[in-house]
Amino acid sequence: LCQHLLQPLLEALDKRWRGQYGAALERVLFQSWLRSKLATRIYFNNRQQSGRPLLIASLDEEAFSPGLWLTAWLVSSTDCPVELLEWPVPLNELNLAVERVWPRGLLLYASHCLSAGCLQRHLPRLLEQSAAPLLIAGPAVHIHAPELRQHRGLLLADCPFDALQQLNNAGLLP
């Protein structure tokens, strides 16, 4: 469903919405509908699961990131509870979330370029201090691949399916 329907649909809609009158309204309506459907599935999946959640945090500034929500939905569909931070939280504060939620892992989702401060100061500090395994997912992984590959122990995935595979390979999914 995700690979053969949702991903191609999102790509086609993204192309359609470029420069078209009314595209902003159509995008907001569609994304609101999609978010509510994915959030409902995640909610019901979480109610049926126990154990430590996977903490998923957005590094995007947008109100809705389809890749973030698709990743959360895919993970929750594997009998792994998900705790989702949809709005951006400063990287230097994510250790507080790790301490309070005590997740099995931390997945950071980024659709766009990461700042130099994020890559050079905050990410290394988070890797050093975090008690949870760390994965970065999203198109930013492709953009910053050389810099990100320098960090030992950091898992990388450029799409929701790769994130699911990396989490599974690392033993972070049930």
124-148, pLDDT tens digit by residue?
Answer: 999 998 889 999 999 999 999 999 9
Summarize pLDDT for 90-113 with one digit per residue, the tens: 888 999 999 999 999 999 999 999
**109, 71 contact by CB (below 8 A):** yes
Residue with tokens 């099995």: 104
pTM for the whole thing? 0.90
- Three-point CA angle 156, 83, 5, nearest 5°: 65
Residue 31 to residues 4, 19, 23, 36, 167: CA-CA distances in angstroms?
18, 18, 12, 8, 26
DSSP state string for 112-145: SPPPHHIIIIIHHHHHHH-SS-EEEESHHHHHTH
